[in-house]
Chains A and B, each alone.
Chain A
Amino acid sequence: MKEAIKKLTKAQIFWPLIIFLGILALNGVISGGEFFRLQIVDGHLYGRIIDIFRNGSKLMLLALGMTMVLATGGTDISVGSVMAISGAVACTIIEGSLFSFANGNVAFAITAAIIAGMLCGSWNGFLVSKIQMQPIVATMILLVAGRGIAQLICEGRIVTINSPSFYFLNGGYIFGFPFPVYIVVFFTALVLWGVRKTAFGLYVESVGCNAEASRFSGINSARIKFFIYVLCGTLAAVAGLIESAGIKGADANNAGFMIELDAILAVAIGGSSLSGGRFSLLSSLVGALIIQSITTSILSLGVAPEVNLVVKAVVVIAICLAQSPVFQQSFADLKFKFKKQEVAA
């Protein structure tokens, strides 16, 4: 039994999960239970918890891709801009100003947006794996240029669209649950399968630890990296679709702005190393939920918007400290000393 508990607490996902539940519980207490109230209106679930999952869906998708990129020892800071491009492509097609032959077909728009994300990912992957540029520099190009491209696609406007079937991506419900949750479940299952049921996950961890030694073991490090960046771009495009379906249009300046930092933070809070190697997708998803729940609870607790970011920073610092092995050790030492003093007294 003790062994089982020890094993449980050693699991990477354990502490992120505890923190997430802790934040929820804290909210519950402060709001006097209001936080956990679920309402069913027209067969649809509503409530704060549901909001966290719905609004967190974009970050969860990004965290999936970012986990893989970081596991190869790279990074992708262009995901926010890719979201903007994807939203711009989808909305302008639906509006009819781009590819007017498609007559605003939503399926076509979604496909085109995802292909755009793949192309962005391929560009990043090409720079990193073939040109061997440093990942942060390589993806910085698209971070800056991507927003410009999105603005060009939108012709400098904020594109608004009227398409209930496209809105469904964000606001739709199936069996009482919001549609973005299904999107996240689908992609998580897909990536998990690809990573853990094939040897791909082993290759990624191996390349992330030591790319040269992996090459000598017969693993095509360059190809793996390329593929991972394509995956990351694709997931960012899907996140961009959810975002633009939520605001019912495309805002090239603000869509996914600064979200790349949240995505990297989600992976860090999830406990995967940012320097490559071992990774856990589910832990990163919980990391994303933690970030989203902080945002949601700050809003729901009525904290003034101008202190919002500072509060968030303080919470993040606390979480990172709680997870740091050095801090845990010195905390344990302190507890030990305290006990000894008590005994002595």
Chain B
Amino acid sequence: MNQKFIEMQHISKSFPGVKALSDVPFTLDKGEIHALLGENGAGKSTLIKVLTGVEHRDEGVILLEGKPINARTPQEAQRLGISTVYQEVNLCPNLSVTENIFIGREHKRRGFIDWNYANEASEKLLKMFNLDIDVTQTLSRYSVAIQQMVAIARAVDISAKVLILDEPTSSLSAVEVQELFKIMRMLKDRGMGIIFVTHFLDQVYGISDTITILRNGEYVGTYPTSDLTRIQLVGKMIGKEYSEIDEKASEFQQQKKDKEVIMELKNASSAHIKGIDLSLRKGEVMGFGGLLGSGRSETARMLFAADPLLEGTLEIGGNTVQMKYTLDAIRNGIAFCPEDRKSDGIIGELSIRENIILALQAKRGVFKTISNAEAESIAQEYIEKLQIKTPGTDQLIKNLSGGNQQKVILARWLATDPNLLILDEPTRGIDVGTKAEIQRMVISLADGGMALVFISSEIDEMLRCCNRMTIMRDKEQVGELVGSEITEAAIMEYIAGGVQ
């Protein structure tokens, strides 16, 4: 029993300018759920990529059931029995469920694909996962959660030794996460080894047997989950503790309210949402609470003129303002970090420098070009201020980790010197360390007199950062909470509809 299922020893990997992994060990037993944790840039993804053959290690040995392996491509790793399911579902949404499960390894009869067999086989497979769905429908008709299950089912069906789940839960609801956990336990009972990468600490404690922590490409330690308290865990991940921010946050919430109103929406409607009344005050963080789809993001988009205002008025400093384009909003001192960083935030093929100056350039106008020298100094300034980890300003933004990309988007907006900064899910899919940094920044920006709108699905974060909240349910405003009224219970009650 001494022989481990997977044993990785002395793994090192460098990228130009960055040592991504140095001398990292990792082991996995049969029937073990092993959580791999660390901040962004800690080396989790690199370790996974080395194991699955996406990246090639500089040094080190990988043993599978005692035999050294050297997978050079993900396909090779799959043949060896190591499958990966990524955060974003890597399937073809416009093919049917069956096609997705069997693509690339179709069962043929006399040279033709035997669809009856394939459909039956995929139904049987999905039954095992408690999924009773019509497998002939296109995948995109099903929810992200089901798509994720299909991806897992496909991975397990191909090779059932080691399953790697890279942040599988970030787009799932609480119920769906429980479903996923059930399946993970079932696979574990069948003797599969599972590596689980996530940012959600609750889930780590909910499911994992063992925790391995990485920090800055170095191995911190491996611990049985039951032996490690949450505080210890976070401390080991970020090397510092949360209490510092908490203290600052509570101090901030106690501050005198009723500051100067800088922006007001009156009975405002867009194509997606109706009758919003909102006062945004200097130096306050206004939280939009509510479930996904409750109208939080729609309100934010309306404030930024991304969705046109159809009815009602927007007043800035007491004057009614008409905004047709997003540029009008920027020129009125509004900044907006959209929810979907990848599709609405970053310009992937452009450099960090260009990504940072983009909104400022738009604000100034096409003929008032920001010179290279000025752009460079602005970029440098924010790279330092926000501690963006990058080899240089010329680096393409798509090469950065999620947390650093988010910081670049924040830099883009801070460079425009806004009066109102709207942050829609700024910490989604980001590690604990960067999360804490962003929360700290939100509070200090408000301290400096900026008005902020903060939207998050994590209630902890809202409690920590906001000193005023408006709660939405089914595209309507259902309540407002100020200062010490903001408690988890109060928010929940409004969201659930208990208070009328």
Contact = CB atoms under 8 A, between A and B. Distances in A.
B54 interface: no
B344 interface: yes
A205 B351 CA distance: 11
Interface in B432-474: none
A72 B330 CA distance: 23
A7 interface: no
Of A198, A200, A209, A278, most buried by chain B (CB within 10 Å of CB) is A209
A158 interface: no
Nearest to A214: B347
A213 interface: yes
A217 B362 contact: yes
B346 A213 contact: yes
B343 A213 contact: yes
Interface stretch (B170-178, B224-232, B364-372): B364-372
A203 interface: yes
Nearest to B413: A217
Interface stretch (B64-72, B353-361, B482-490): B353-361
A197 interface: yes
A299 B347 CA distance: 45
Interface in B381-439: 412
Interface in B277-331: 304, 306, 325-327, 329-330
Given A198-B367, A199-B370, A278-B349, A216 B354 contact: no
Given A210-B343, A215-B306, A197 B354 contact: no
A310 B219 CA distance: 60
Given A215-B326, A220-B325, A220-B327, A209 B349 contact: yes
Contacts of A218: 325-327, 329-330, 358-359, 362-363
Contacts, number: 77
B366 A210 contact: no
Contacts of A198: 366-367, 369
A219 interface: yes
B479 interface: no
Of A197, A215, A219, A220, most buried by chain B (CB within 10 Å of CB) is A219
Contacts of B368: 199
A219 B367 CA distance: 14
B366 A200 contact: yes
A207 to B, nearest CB: 9
Contacts of B326: 215-218
A206 interface: yes
Nearest to A215: B326
Given A212-B344, A213-B344, A215-B326, A205 B350 contact: yes
B350 A206 contact: yes
Contacts of A209: 347-350
Nearest to A218: B362
A202 B349 contact: no
B345 interface: yes
A203 B350 contact: no
Interface in A254-292: 277-278
B193 interface: no
Nearest to A210: B347
B5 interface: no
A212 B307 CA distance: 13
Interface residues on A, range: 20 to 34
Contacts of B367: 198-199
A202 B354 contact: yes
A191 to B, nearest CB: 14
Given A213-B343, A220-B327, A199 B366 contact: yes
Nearest to A224: B366
Contacts of A212: 343-344
A210 B330 CA distance: 19
Nearest to B330: A218
Given A215-B306, A216-B338, A217-B412, A203 B366 contact: yes
A277 B349 CA distance: 7
A214 B409 CA distance: 12
Contacts of B494: none
A6 to B, nearest CB: 14
Nearest to B368: A199
Contact of B347 (A197, A199, A200, A213): A213
A120 B210 CA distance: 66
A324 B483 CA distance: 60
A206 B358 contact: yes
B196 interface: no
Nearest to B370: A199
Of B343, B348, B358, most buried by chain A (CB within 10 Å of CB) is B358
A279 to B, nearest CB: 11
A28 to B, nearest CB: 39
Contacts of B346: 210, 213
B252 interface: no
B359 A217 contact: yes
Interface string B247-278: 00000000000000000000000000000000
Contacts of A219: 327, 358, 362
Contacts of B344: 212-213, 216
9 contacts: A198-B366, A198-B369, A199-B362, A203-B362, A205-B354, A213-B345, A216-B304, A218-B327, A218-B358
Interface of B: 304, 306, 325-327, 329-330, 336, 338, 343-350, 354, 358-359, 361-370, 412
